[in-house]
Chains A and B, each alone.
Chain A
């Protein structure tokens, strides 16, 4: 009861913060909508990376710290191979590489560590992160590489008759959002409608019960790591086309951490809604809250975008320790 009340208070406070720039006249309606849209689009991309974390955590209970490194590795593979072949061929080949990587990780890292503590598996994925970061740059190089999707970079103005000055949006942002949304729908269908998807959910619910009815755990791990690899590939191509393929995109992928904290480690809808909340929250905070804080407290200034995402996630943790949609954890004492 108290938890629900706290949650309502938190949502009301966030909503008040969201509309404060409009209510106080600090922003025009058009600009406010533009910031909101920018946040939502960034949020969809965070969701995409967070999905990779959630997939693996659901199926194996492993928090895959290497998801960001997988995004970088996949994007580097596509970008460098696309220099020698058409983009579609490079992407197909990259899928094969990511599946092969899933096999290698399952065989060399996960299988020897079966039944170990989750923290051991977390440390193992930390090792995979460093290996992939270094190996990827050794094989493919550490320059900035391009992925050209053929979408115009110039912005377009919409709703000019509704808002003064119109709303500026980018075609590549819209395309990225559409691609991410499509992937989310496909994954949801896969989990709900296919035999393999149901097996994955069964393993997620109870390893031992799933094994007892003949679901092979090792194959399931390979499948789920392959899926996470494909999600990483899509995220890497979208981020890479937007920012250029370079080491930094592995760090952008870590933005998915507050997303999964907020949304819950085991929930696909949680990853999506968490991504949107983080995306909108950080952009609104950077644009509207940052300058106010600097003036009010006479601060030295500095970007608040990065840490604000974690503050937001922590606020949710205080009220909902399992995240918005995470499974309730009950211990008998």
Chain B
């Protein structure tokens, strides 16, 4: 009798535990089933924090906005997790490994905001089947989707940027032929990022006959006295600045200290935000930089951001920083990721999607003027349309100048010369494919996969 009672209690306990376990197990699955997970690789500390913070704020704030305003992407809530990389490649890879398997379907995609981390992750994403979106940075040759199936340098590469700068100064001089005999100095961050435009500038140098001076600046870029002494000695006609973080403001300060005219300085789009110019005060007046997707300013999406996110105390930064260059760029980067998922949902349904499914969406992006207006980005970006062959989707850029208080668009938009860039892309991508034994896709057969 006693034994029977014990057995009953045991059976009841086992049943209860099993039921609780089943509920617990199914609970998260049901909750997770409606979530799309986005890892956010940021740098909020360290030498590059002044630029990493506004970008990171814009990036995650846009996800919050989509959840609050639209109820997620097609009803699927966005979840995200930040991981601090400090702009260091090793930490970036560590973040990738930690976050790639999170969420019900794994990481949707990665946006590392570092060319160094991009180089390190490019080999990995082939195996893990996770898209690597590098809007305006990363490997220029990854435009070629036949080789770089998982990379998406959406909206612009450094070869576009360098090409547009040459076109612009050629126009200023009265024609590209007038560049013959001129001196152009490239002051660059001595890293994969800073070195990326060199092949294009060398190619253009052969074509137009200008002399290219290469002046590397070592990380983090606060020691530039020697660089600017060389500029003073060589007296280049133009200085192109390929810096990031504190290197940019230091360059402008050193230009002031060595008497180099800021009007002859042109920064890439990562050297043209508020934290780059404000530390130099009035000395930065007249400095120029490129813009590719998102200039400073506010539009409908910013109004929504204030209404749905900041007014509810959910903003990541200060409301007055909404609309700054890097905040907008972070927001646009998140938007393109969201649009990639939306596009993929057309094919795979409104459910959490895997990285492989989202890759299809990114490869078939069609963000035209009407779509831009609909999502509130009118005036903040140009249309982007990707294909199997072209993972970039847009090749335009404008020039902006700093007046001491604000950025103003002064020239453009320019379209980069694909006749020059495409052969470089093809050669570099083919070299990568041969070295890494990557199969080259036939887009006629493979575009839908």
Contacts and interface: CB of A to CB of B under 8 A. Distances in A.
B226 A287 contact: yes
A244 B216 CA distance: 21
Nearest to A30: B233
B209 interface: no
A248 B279 CA distance: 14
Interface stretch (A53-61, A81-89, A137-145): A137-145
A282 B45 CA distance: 29
A32 B270 CA distance: 34
B70 interface: no
Contacts of A34: 229, 232
B218 interface: yes
B253 A243 contact: yes
A302 B226 CA distance: 13
Interface string B346-369: 000000000000000000000000
A302 B194 CA distance: 11
A168 B225 contact: no
A243 B222 contact: yes
Interface in B283-302: 283
A144 B258 CA distance: 22
A305 to B, nearest CB: 6
A302 B216 contact: yes
A168 B246 CA distance: 24
Nearest to B213: A291
Given A38-B225, A38-B226, A252-B223, A303 B218 contact: yes
B223 A306 contact: yes
Contact of A142 (B45, B253, B283): B45
Contacts of A306: 218, 223
Interface of chain B: mostly helix, strand, loop or mixed: helix
B227 A286 contact: yes
A142 B53 contact: yes
Contact of B256 (A31, A134, A153, A244): A153
A155 B258 contact: yes
Contact of A246 (B44, B50, B278, B283): B50
A330 to B, nearest CB: 38
Interface in A162-177: 168, 170, 173
Contacts of B229: 31, 34-35, 38, 283, 287
A143 B275 contact: yes
A251 B253 contact: no
B190 interface: yes
B49 interface: yes
A134 B49 CA distance: 12
Interface in B237-262: 245-246, 249-250, 253, 256-259
A137 B256 contact: no
Nearest to A246: B246
A314 B220 CA distance: 23
Interface of chain A: mostly helix, strand, loop or mixed: helix
A230 interface: no
B49 A137 contact: yes
B250 A243 contact: yes
Given A142-B44, A154-B256, A168 B232 contact: yes
B435 to A, nearest CB: 18
B279 A144 contact: yes
B375 interface: no
- What interface size band does chain A fall in? 35 or more
B253 A153 contact: yes
Contacts of A248: 47, 220-222, 245-246
Interface in B46-69: 46-47, 49-50, 53
Contact of B50 (A143, A243, A255, A286): A143
Interface in A303-333: 303, 305-306
B233 A31 contact: yes
A286 B215 CA distance: 10
Given A153-B256, A168-B258, A305 B250 contact: no
B329 to A, nearest CB: 17
Interface in A28-42: 31, 34-35, 38, 42
A142 B49 contact: yes
Interface in A279-301: 282-283, 286-287, 301
A247 B258 contact: no
B314 interface: no
Contacts of A155: 256-259
A287 B230 CA distance: 6
A249 B232 CA distance: 25
Given A143-B275, A287-B229, A287-B230, 7 more contacts: A142-B44, A142-B45, A143-B50, A144-B275, A146-B279, A287-B226, A303-B217
Interface of B: 44-47, 49-50, 53, 190, 214, 216-218, 220-223, 225-227, 229-230, 232-233, 245-246, 249-250, 253, 256-259, 275, 278-279, 281, 283
25 contacts: A31-B229, A31-B233, A38-B225, A133-B45, A134-B45, A143-B49, A143-B53, A144-B246, A153-B257, A154-B259, A155-B256, A242-B253, A243-B250, A243-B253, A246-B47, A247-B46, A248-B220, A248-B246, A252-B223, A255-B223, A286-B226, A287-B230, A302-B190, A303-B218, A306-B218
Interface of A: 27, 31, 34-35, 38, 42, 133-134, 137, 142-144, 146, 153-155, 168, 170, 173, 242-244, 246-249, 251-252, 255, 282-283, 286-287, 301-303, 305-306
